[in-house]
Structure 1
Amino acid sequence: MTKRKDQIHLGAFLYPTGHHIAAWRHPDALADAGVRFDHYVEMVKLAEAAKFDLLFFADGAGTRGDDVDFLSRTAHSYNAQFEPITLLSALAALTTHIGLVATVSTSFNEPYNVARKFASLDHISGGRAGWNLVTSSNPYEGLNFNQSTQTPHAERYARAREYADVVTRLWDSWEDDAFIRDKESGRFFDPSKRHALNHDGTYFKVKGPLSVARAPQGRPVLVQAGSSEDGKTLAAQTAEVVFTAQQTLEDAVQFYADLKGRLARFGRAPDSLKVMPGIFPVVGRTTAEAEDKFHALQALIDPKVGLTLIQGLTGGFDLSEYPLDGPIPPLPETNTSKSRQNLTLDLARRENLTIRQLYLRVAGARGHWQVVGTPTQIADEMQARFEAYGADGFNVMPPLLPTGLRDFVDLVMPELRRRGLVREEYRGKTLREHLGLQRP
């Protein structure tokens, strides 16, 4: 295998207090971080100074169930935190280079609104916007949007394919130089460079054009997070970055080859899509220090929160009647997140984990790749996965904020730079330039 000549791309995936399920209870955490704008300003400036490609925010539009006792014990239920496009628009004014990626679901938003918001963010930021396209797998979100039952998985993705097509065509409503704004002639735009959609599809009717000029990047970068068969097909057809989760190097290499191998059928080159799995790094100057940091977080897990976490990851089925120190029972295929159910159940069976052991195993990364060790050990693991073509980069998921991101920037980044694996300086200003993606 030839040695890679490119470098690792990095995203900073920020969850308010950190990605560990019990992070908010840690003495170093800001428990009210979700509504602290100054907290996000500090984190994004830290990531930009470290020359990260992008900042990444997840989102949800509903609770994670009706168990108020459980919900009151966790900060991982999208309670008390900002709506991401609003937050990124504010952060855009305080940054100059780092990409700004927000999650917006195709399930509960109209394509025209999404196209308009992200095109606006791209203008505000000077070409740094990205949209993480998801279909909502949480049935409780639909209850806030006139939906009494959840849409089947395959239909959600069929709708999302049409949705992505409408949004990208709306972004192409105007040619780059359409707005001439000629005061002398009295012509504000060139009519020949305006393109209405007149879309009439299975799920949407959209006349167009978009009421925002063509974005600085041409189109904001399209990110996608699904790893099921439907998700991979959608990604191969539409995505430019894929955020994914694999536990082992073998699985990562297999996923990478599978996804890149699907691109040709849609007339796309392998380099037109970047694979960036999540990594949950717990960094210590020594192995013992890293393990102590991790165990301090693990000790804060409420058993009820741990059990409910596993129920969500394995398909939303009630496991409360099963013993915590017994195995995961056989479960039917879910209509929520199929790829995350498969990943979690495969992990439990591969390592012969009980329900309690499983929630302790995934309480930090929730199925993403977890690495606990020294800067050298973490850099070794990242380099191995990158050079084996299991990833083009990583979405860094700090276990605890603000200290987890600082640890990665202060300790791991210098080691990656010493090896020439990450950039020293930005070489462009747009997110597409950072990622090596062509402007459409």
Structure 2
Amino acid sequence: MNMSRPKKQIILGHYLGGVNHQTVWSDPAAGSQIDFASFRHAAVTAERGRFDFFFLAEGLALRERQGQIFDQDVIGRPDAITVLTALAAVTEHLGLVATVNATFNEPYELARQLASLDHLSGGRAGWNIVTSSDAFTGQNFRRGGYLRREDRYVRAAEFLAAARRLWDSWDAGDVVADQEEGRFLRRADAGAFAFSGRQFDIGGRFAVPRSPQGQPVILQAGVSAEGREFASGGGPDAIFSPYHTLTEAQAFYRDIQQRSARHGRPPGSTKILPGAAFVLGDTEADAVERHREIARAQISGRGAQILLETVWNRDLSGYDPDGPLPDVEPAPDDPPVIQGRARIHQNASETVAEWRAIAEANRYTLRELAIHVFGRTEFVGTPAQVAQRLDDFVQQDGSDGFIIGSHLTPTGLDEFVDKVVPLLQERGSLRTDYEGTTLRDNLGLPALAERVAV
């Protein structure tokens, strides 16, 4: 840790689990994934803990395995922007971040929705950009799965540039109310825009005046070379990191900061935020045992087989979850066994070789390996231990904060807010109150000029 700089303030987002293996939907204490009361409870709790933002993922298609609907997932999730717009009415400071796919949407429509959310929330909107070249998901849309994999970031970069052109088509003072005339006066070219590229050729007038943040906060996940360049070259304000160990996380952190500097971006302009989970106990031994129970509830034997099928691309139902890893090689070029799940491991053979080495070194079974490689950064211990480990990770530049999730919807965050947040505040690493009025303020992001050159 660099002792000459001020102590970093931890950024916290809350991720409400949905269509994934991390949510233990079978727990008797689990609530609905659709009822607004679940979203409201989680968001209000996050705001009580002075979290920066509330984050919702996206599922555009019901996942399938060999042509049948997954029976391992929670089925369905309401549209993220719709849910967050409702949450704007029951929160005051919490940022509201939606995952929206740049492949299957259009700049004008999405820019309008996000600008509207930013207005309605008083400047708390955020957009997590994701991309897809998945024909299975694409069949739900007019274009289908037309986009080549290598064009995903081309479209995403143009999409973001077009959206920013739309958001910046208004100045803050473009509209003035004339009380005597009983009408609004606006600059003649307010809202006028034009954008032309390989993916989009659009022009007209943007219908939503400049929003409180100027532009919503932009987030992105992606650790490929293309993703890192997109993240550091003026794309997102924050990037989700998948790295669990401090050494890997520090290397990723340095890489993004160095790339940002080469692009002329000021230090700290790209925040790094890994997903994380926590398990608390009265003693460390209690927490470790509880973590073991939760992990086995999250990833059943059948669930472990399915998770490994996403990389092997083979039917692994005949392999014992409590036995060794499959002795067959992956078949990445065969028709997909799993449809609708993001492919995060690009080289199946290299990934399987790495996993076999991990399993051999730790004497992992198939299920234990799945728990190890598909888990989030885990902080397990007493509240004091978890607070210290979170703080140390950030102060040593493993990240700028965390996206905290829980196995239990919607009450899983309560324990963290009640027991860990006060300790982080005592350490001087977490605010005791919100500093600003917008999400951009609270994240410590550089302020946007009133009008950005386009």
**TM exceeds 0.5?**
yes
Relative to structure 1, the CA distance from residue 134 to residue 157 in structure 2 (aligned partners, 3 Å threshold; closer, same or farther) is: same
- Within 5 Å, give how 1:108-127 maps onto structure 2: 108-127=104-123
- Structure-2 separation of matches of 1:109 and 1:180: 32
Note closer, same or farther for the CA distance 1:181–1:193 as it changes in structure 2 (3 Å cut).
farther
Q: Counterpart in 1 of 2:343?
A: 337
Q: 1:379 to 1:407 in 2, by over 3 A?
A: same
Mapped partners of 2:50, 2:441: distance in 1: 13
Q: How far apart are the structure 1 equivalents of 2:266 and 2:181?
A: 44
Q: Which moved more, 1:130-139 or 1:319-328?
A: 319-328
- Asked if 2 retains the 8 angstrom alpha-carbon contact of 1:26 and 1:297, the reply is no
Q: Distance between the aligned counterparts of 1:121 and 1:222, measured in 2?
A: 14
User: Quick one: distance in 2 between partners of 1:38 and 1:406?
Assistant: 15
The reply to whether residue 358 of structure 1 matches residue 373 of structure 2 is no
More strand by share: 2
Aligned 8 A contact 1:107 1:135 in 2 = yes
Gaps spanning 5+ residues in structure 2: where?
337-341, 449-454
What residue in structure 2 maps to residue 50 of structure 1? 49
Local SS of the residue matching 1:51: coil
- CA shift for structure 1 position 177: 0.5
Q: Distance in 2 between matches of 1:341 and 1:292?
A: 34
Query: Structure 1 residues 296-305 or 175-184, which shifts more?
Result: 296-305
Distance (whole Å) between structure 2 residues aligned to residue 302 and residue 137 of structure 1: 29
Task: Report Cα offsets for 1:194-229 as digits up to 9, x if no partner.
Answer: 253321210111103321010100101011111111
- Distance in 1 between residues matched to 2:15 and 2:346, nearest whole Å: 18
Aligned with residue 88 of structure 2, among 83, 88, 92: 92
Q: Which amino acid aligns with 1:64?
A: R
Looking at structure 2, the residues matched to 62 and 168 of structure 1 have their Cα atoms a distance apart, in angstroms, of 28
Conservation of the 8 A alpha-carbon contact between 2:137 and 2:145: no
Could you tell me whether the CA contact under 8 Å between 2:47 and 2:93 is conserved in 1? Answer: yes
The whole-number CA distance in structure 2 between the counterparts of 1:257 and 1:395 is: 19
2:190 maps to 1:194: yes
- In the alignment, the residues of structure 1 paired with residue 42 and residue 346 of structure 2 have an alpha-carbon distance, to the nearest angstrom, of 28
Alpha-carbon distance, 1:264 to partner: 2.5
The 5 Å alignment of 1:13-92 reads: 13-16=15-18, 21=22, 23-30=24-31, 33-67=32-66, 71-75=70-74, 79-92=75-88
Ranges in structure 1 where 5+ consecutive residues have no aligned partner: none
Q: Which amino acid aligns with 1:359?
A: A
Q: Is the 8 A contact 1:327 1:355 kept in 2?
A: yes
Letter in 1 for 2:45: L
Q: Paired residue for 1:2?
A: 2
Tell me the distance in 1 between the aligned counterparts of 2:286 and 2:223: 34
Verify the 8 A CA contact 2:11 2:402 in the aligned structure 1.
Answer: yes
1:176 equivalenced with 2:172 (yes/no): yes
Instruction: Kindly indicate which of the two structures has a greater share of residues assigned to helix.
Output: 1
Deviations 1:372-418 (A, max 9, x none): 22222222321221111110111101122334211211121122122
Map of 1:311 onto structure 2: 309
Which whole-Å CA distance do the structure 2 matches of 1:434 and 1:413 have between them?
17
Whole-angstrom CA distance in 2 between matches of 1:418 and 1:44: 23
Name whichever of 207-216 and 98-107 sits farther off: 207-216
Aligned pairs (5 A) from 1:212-291: 212-237=208-233, 238-291=235-288
Work out the CA distance in 1 between the residues paired with 2:204 and 2:262. Answer: 29
2:300–2:367 contact (8 Å) kept in structure 1: no
TM-score by length of 1: 0.89
Higher mean C-alpha displacement, 119-128 vs 147-156: 147-156
Equivalenced residue count is 429
Using the TM superposition, give the Cα deviation of residue 106 of structure 1 relative to its aligned residue in structure 2, in angstroms.
0.4
TM-aligned CA deviation for residue 82 of structure 1: 1.5
Post-superposition CA distance 1:163-212 (Å, at most 9, x none): 11111111101011001132546773433552533212101111033210
Question: How many angstroms apart in 2 are the aligned matches of 1:159 and 1:434?
Answer: 30
**Code of the aligned partner of 2:371:** L
1:113: Cα distance to partner? Answer: 1.0
373, 378, 391: which is aligned to 2:386? 378
- Distance (Å, rounded) in 1 between the aligned partners of 2:68 and 2:293: 24
CA apart distance, 1:42: 1.3
The sequence identity of aligned pairs, in percent, is 37
Rounded Cα–Cα distance in structure 1 between residues aligned with 2:302 and 2:175: 57
Instruction: Identify if the C-alpha distance between structure 1 residues 38 and 186 changes in structure 2 by more than 3 Å, giving closer, same or farther.
Output: closer
Q: Measure, in 2, the Cα distance between the counterparts of 1:190 and 1:119.
A: 18
2:26 & 2:44 partners in 1: Cα distance? 25
More off after superposition, 20-29 vs 180-189: 180-189
Could you tell me whether the CA contact under 8 Å between 1:22 and 1:297 is conserved in 2?
A: no
> What is the CA–CA distance in structure 1 between the aligned matches of 2:286 and 2:68, rounded to whole Å?
34
Q: Which has the higher mean CA deviation after the structures are superposed, 411-420 or 41-50?
A: 411-420
1:250 maps to amino acid: T
User: Which moves more between the two structures, 422-431 or 321-330?
Assistant: 321-330
User: Could you say if the C-alpha distance between residues 340 and 35 of structure 1 is closer, same or farther in structure 2, counting changes exceeding 3 Å?
Assistant: farther
Give the corresponding residue for 1:140.
136
CA distance in 2, matches of 1:148, 1:91: 32
Whether the 8 Å contact between 1:283 and 1:373 is mirrored in structure 2 is yes
CA contact (8 A) 2:52 2:439 kept: yes
Distance 1:37 1:245, change over 3 A: same
Matching residue's letter, 2:368: Q
Q: Which residue of 1 aligns with 2:401?
A: 393
Q: State how far apart, in whole Å, the 2-side matches of 1:333 and 1:72 are.
A: 23
Query: What per-residue deviation string (whole Å, max 9, x for no partner) do you get for residues 14-58 of structure 1?
Result: 1159x754600112212xx21111121111111101100000111
1:157 maps to which of 141, 153, 156: 153
8 Å CA contact 2:249–2:399 kept in 1: the answer is yes
Moved more, 129-138 or 297-306: 297-306
Letter aligned with residue 219 of structure 1: Q
1:209-252 superposed Cα distances (whole Å, 9 cap, x missing partner) = 32101010010101111111111111112110111210211100
Cα RMSD over matched residues? 2.6
Whole-angstrom distance in 2 between the partners of 1:277 and 1:403: 21
Alignment check: 8 A CA contact 2:275 2:377 kept: yes
For residues 371 and 341 of structure 1, the distance between their equivalents in structure 2, rounded to whole angstroms, comes to 29
Asked if structure 2 preserves the Cα contact closer than 8 Å seen for 1:310 and 1:358, the reply is no
